[in-house]
């Protein structure tokens, strides 16, 4: 799989790390995206509806997977990143989506992620291109990149599977945390 290109010093992980929980709360309570997506294209029954585990950057073993829920009303939520967006079918087994995340802290603005994908015949995986753009509050593009979007559908597992990892779940190696140095 192709790895995302980074055009400036701001990584996608750094840009996405700054979202506040308040932004997700506003997205969850706002009916605007749901109503317009619902009026635009019927989405109920499309195979993308459900919960997916995305391997955000297969080339970066420190990048944790993320969970995206595609709702039947054309909305999507990523509770693990605090991101919301919209999606629409582009075919019987294909869809396109856009999501945004507001960034606070050092690099302020928002990240726009645009992607599309094709769902496998067994409805268990999806893949397609993805791009991201980090935009400053004044509309200036800070950085952008593209890569490949891959995901697997989250499956219900029996309680007897307790004590085992989820079948097929991606693995990652978290970046080492800097240890605090005691003051002298």
pLDDT in tens, the chain (184 residues): 444 444 444 444 444 443 333 333 333 333 444 444 444 556 789 999 999 999 866 555 567 888 999 999 999 999 988 899 999 999 999 999 999 999 887 778 999 999 999 999 999 999 999 999 999 999 999 999 999 989 999 999 899 999 988 888 887 777 776 565 566 5
142 contacts: CB under 8 Å, gap ≥ 6: 8, 10, 15, 107, 109, 134, 135, 136
**What is the pTM (predicted TM-score) of this model?**
0.70
What's the pLDDT at 106?
A: 77
Task: Please answer whether residues 88 and 43 qualify as being in contact, where contact means their C-beta atoms are separated by less than 8 angstroms.
Answer: yes
Classify 12-154 by CATH class. mainly beta
Taking residue 128's Cβ as centre, other Cβ atoms within 10 Å add up to: 17
Taking residue 177's Cβ as centre, other Cβ atoms within 10 Å add up to: 6
What's the pLDDT at 40?
A: 53
How does pLDDT run across 6-59, given as a tens digit for each residue? 444 444 444 444 333 333 333 333 344 444 444 455 678 999 999 999 986 655
Task: Please answer whether residues 113 and 143 qualify as being in contact, where contact means their C-beta atoms are separated by less than 8 angstroms.
Answer: no
CA distance linking residue 131 with residue 143, whole number of Å: 11
In the chain, the percentage of residues whose pLDDT exceeds 90 is 49
Using a 10 angstrom Cβ sphere, with 0-12 exposed, 13-18 middle and 19 or more buried, the burial of residue 143 is buried
CA distance linking residue 149 with residue 162, whole number of Å: 29
CA distance linking residue 141 with residue 21, whole number of Å: 24
């Amino acid at each position: 799989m192709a790895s995302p290109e980074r055009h400036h010093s701001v990584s996608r992980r750094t840009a996405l790390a700054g979202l506040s929980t308040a932004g997700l709360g506003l997205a969850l309570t706002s009916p605007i995206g749901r109503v317009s997506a619902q009026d635009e294209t019927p989405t109920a029954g499309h195979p993308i509806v459900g919960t997916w585990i995305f391997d955000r950057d297969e080339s970066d073993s420190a990048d944790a997977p993320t969970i995206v829920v595609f709702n039947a009303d054309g909305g999507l939520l990523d509770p693990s990143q605090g991101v919301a967006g919209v999606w629409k079918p582009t075919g019987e087994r294909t869809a396109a989506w856009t999501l945004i995340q507001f960034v606070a802290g050092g690099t302020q603005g928002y990240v726009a992620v645009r992607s599309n994908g094709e769902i496998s015949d067994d409805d268990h995986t999806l893949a397609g291109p993805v791009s991201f753009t980090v935009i400053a509050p004044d509309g200036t593009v800070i950085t952008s990149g593209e890569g490949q979007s891959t995901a697997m559908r989250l499956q219900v597992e029996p309680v007897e599977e307790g004590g085992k990892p989820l079948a097929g779940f991606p693995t990652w190696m978290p970046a080492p945390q800097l240890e605090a140095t005691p003051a002298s």
